[in-house]
Amino acid sequence: MILSIEQVSISSSKKKIVDNVSLSVGEGEWFALVGQSGSGKSLLSQAIGQMLPANLKVEGKIYFKGLELLSLTKKQFQSIRGKKVAYIFQDYQGSFTPFRTIGQHFDEYHRTHGELDAKSRRLESIHALESVGLDENLYDKYPFQLSGGQLQRASIAIALMLSPDLLIADEITTALDSVSGHRILELLAKKQRETGCAILFITHDWRHVRRYASRLAVMREGEIVESGGKHRILDHPKHEYTKRLIEAAPILDQGLPSGLEEVEER
Amino acid sequence: MSGLSLRLPKSKKSRLPRLVTLLGLLFIILVVIYTFVYLQHDPNLTNLDDRLLGTSIQHPLGTDQLGRDVLTRLLLGAQQTIGFSLLALISALIIGVPFGLIAGYKRGVVDRLFMRIGDGFLAFPDTIVAIVLSGLLGPGIGNLVLAIILVKWVNYARLVRSTVLSESQKEYVLVARTNGLSSAKIIRKHLFPHIVGHVLVLASLDLGKIILLISAFSYIGLGVQPPTPEWGAMLNESRPYFQSRPELMIFPGLAIVVVVLLTNMAGDYLRDHFDVKKEVQQ
């Protein structure tokens, strides 16, 4: 197990937002965390990287490769962020600092994690860009000059650049149209096969779960109601909430009914 | 109804004010540098035989009540007035900007502590602080500059904090953090460039105010002490001769007006330049 979360609770001063959650992600696994908005899945993922705002308190234990994350000091943690645990977020427009070029972002993260030679940094960054199917000349472009899909590709490239062991993808396709979203996920799946990193994939889209995930957990109001292998849960959901959630997913196998009643032929 | 409405002509701002501002500032800077490096005349050389002279080749702007050359004193006064104003401004920036950056980024207790300290300073009007300091430590330009710094830094801290507060909530700061950047680096590389524009605008508008303040306090005798030439002090010294030789007051007065006007115009220009909303409209 590369990541195991054991009885983690996140609470603000008023109430418990995530309640006693345990889950584990295996090496090279695509683990999907499903749930409606406000169920606490994003907060849980941010707790892994100690990214929570200061007013939220975390209890419990999070082990990453046998290392207890919540007990690490800030300094120790900085070397893990980006290098061993990487994040991709939903908002691709906001993921890049507006007045810095794409290349400067790559360069900076490279240097933070110890690559000192400027030339090799540039080469590796361009290589990372090309590996996600982006052109070399985007290196000197500013974020607003790229399209949404390109930006999300670039953030995948940044996240995977230092070959992390765990990639946390927080609703990365929500802000994209479905074709671009599909391409991004295909790319992510391909990169996963190449690098063998584990992915914690946060979503509320069953199509992505069905297609890519190997295991999944369903979250509701801060608790995990059901978890297990993909086929087990999708085909034989046990919990009432999971059943309802799956039923609510729009499926297009009966065409696209407009809502009008059909005229019966006599 | 349409007859009543008047379509405004699309205003195309002329470049003339901008050019004038630029040339004027350039001219003043050159003059200050020239006097600093080359000026050989003694501004304090008194000659009671030549007192209150009119315009001549030897004294282009005449002499004052002690027979000192007005032009020389005016040029050296520029050094004093502008130099000390810049000193006060830059010191206020050096204190205020980091304060604001840290308060806005760290939030919570640090923010509250820093801002309450700032509010405390803000409670005193600049005039009062300057007078009290002069009263306690004695009049002098050093104390005046100190008083200005004490009052002005809070404005910058507040301005910077408000910008950083909203910017640090954005996703790219989170992304930078997830990629292992330290707080210091995020502040320096990802947040600082956002505030440069705002700070520059406020600073250029403030420069005019500070020049006025220094001149005003020198005028009432709390700033630069005689015989050092300073525009406000020159105004004060030539006050008794206002009826017989008004130009003695007009020259330093005009110098103050022109410099303050130019810095304000520069501030206006910078504000337009950094105004993002205007860019969107175009």
| CA-based nearest residue in chain B for residue A55 | B108
- What's phi and psi for A227, nearest 5 deg? -150, 155
pLDDT at B93: 93
ipTM over 0.90: no
Residues of chain B contacting residue A155, judged by C-beta atoms under 8 Å apart: 175
CB contact under 8 A, A100 and B175: no
pLDDT at B229: 84
Domain membership of residue A257 (yes or no) is: no
Domain membership of residue A117 (yes or no) is: yes
Interchain contact A54–B (C-beta under 8 A): yes
Starting at the edge strand found earlier in the chain, the sheet holding A16-25 runs: A16-25, A3-11, A57-64, A67-68
Domain membership of residue A66 (yes or no) is: yes
CA distance B90 to A7: 53
CB contact under 8 A, B178 and A108: no
Q: Which residue in the block uniquely carries the two structure tokens 């910008």? A: B163
What domain count does chain A have? 1
Helix (H, G, I), strand (E, B) or coil at A163: coil
Question: Whole domain around residue A199: which residue ranges?
Answer: 3-209+223-248
Residues of chain B contacting residue A82, judged by C-beta atoms under 8 Å apart: 178-181
Which of B107, B178, B183, B279 is the mutation pick for testing A, counting most A CBs within 10 A? B178
**Which residues have CB under 8 Å from A33's CB, separation 6+?**
A23, A41, A44, A45, A200, A201, A202, A203, A216, A217, A219
Residues of chain B contacting residue A112, judged by C-beta atoms under 8 Å apart: 179-182, 185
**Nearest CA to CA, how far is B108 from chain A (Å)?**
8
pLDDT at B280: 46
**Nearest CA to CA, how far is A157 from chain B (Å)?**
12
CB contact under 8 A, A108 and B175: no
Grade residue B282 by pLDDT with cuts at 50, 70 and 90: very low
CA distance A125 to B180: 17
CATH number of domain containing A148: 3.40.50.300
A80-84, B111-115, B160-164, B230-234: which has the minimum mean pLDDT? Answer: A80-84
CB contact at 8 A, B228 and B77: no
* Per-residue pLDDT tens over the stretch A207-243: 888 888 888 898 888 888 888 888 888 888 888 888 8
pLDDT at A254: 58
Indicate the average pLDDT of chain B: 82
Domain membership of residue A256 (yes or no) is: no
* Per-residue pLDDT tens over the stretch B246-270: 888 888 889 889 988 888 888 888 8
**Nearest CA to CA, how far is A114 from chain B (Å)?**
11
CA distance A65 to B221: 72
Residue in A79, A86, A95 nearest the CB of B171 = A95
Interchain contact A227–B (C-beta under 8 A): no
CA distance A135 to B103: 40
Interaxial angle between packed helices B192-219 and B70-106, expressed in degrees from 0 to 180 and rounded to the nearest 10: 140
| CA-based nearest residue in chain A for residue B182 | A78
CA distance A164 to A83: 5
| CA-based nearest residue in chain A for residue B190 | A97
Region B238-246: mean pLDDT is 84
Region A178-203: mean pLDDT is 87
CB contact under 8 A, B189 and A112: no
The A residues from 71 to 110 touching B (CB cutoff 8 Å) are 78-83, 85-87, 89, 91, 94-100, 108-109
| Higher pLDDT among residues A265 and A85, named by residue | A85
Strand bridging mode A3-11 / A57-64: antiparallel
With CA atoms as reference, report the closest residue to A31 among A178, A182, A218, A174.
A218
pLDDT at B157: 92
Size of interface A-B (CB pairs under 8 A): 62
pLDDT at B54 over 70: yes
Number of Cβ atoms within 10 Å of the Cβ of A188: 26
CB contact under 8 A, A96 and B175: yes
Residue in B108, B172, B193 nearest the CB of A96 = B172
CB contact under 8 A, A54 and B180: no
Residues of chain A contacting residue B177, judged by C-beta atoms under 8 Å apart: 51, 81
CB contact under 8 A, B171 and A155: no
CB contact under 8 A, A78 and B171: no
Region A120-146: mean pLDDT is 86
**Which pTM was predicted?**
0.76
What would the DSSP string read from start to end of chain B? -TTT--PPP-----SHHHHHHHHHHHHHHHHHHHHHHT--S-TT---GGGTT--S-SSSTT-B-TTS-BHHHHHHHHHHHHHHHHHHHHHHHHHHHHHHHHHHHHH-HHHHHHHHHHHHHHHTS-HHHHHHHHHHHH-S-HHHHHHHHHHHHHHHHHHHHHHHHHHHTTSHHHHHHHHTT--HHHIIIIIIHHHHHHHHHHHHHHHHHHHHHHHHHHHHTTSSSPTTS--HHHHHHHTGGGTTT-THHHHHHHHHHHHHHHHHHHHHHHHHHHH-HHHHHH-
| Higher pLDDT among residues B34 and A201, named by residue | A201
Sign of CA dihedral A119, A125, A130, A134: negative
Residues in a beta bridge with A61: A6
Grade residue B281 by pLDDT with cuts at 50, 70 and 90: very low
Domain membership of residue A261 (yes or no) is: no
Domain membership of residue A159 (yes or no) is: yes
Q: Does domain B78-277 have CATH number 1.10.287.3510?
A: no
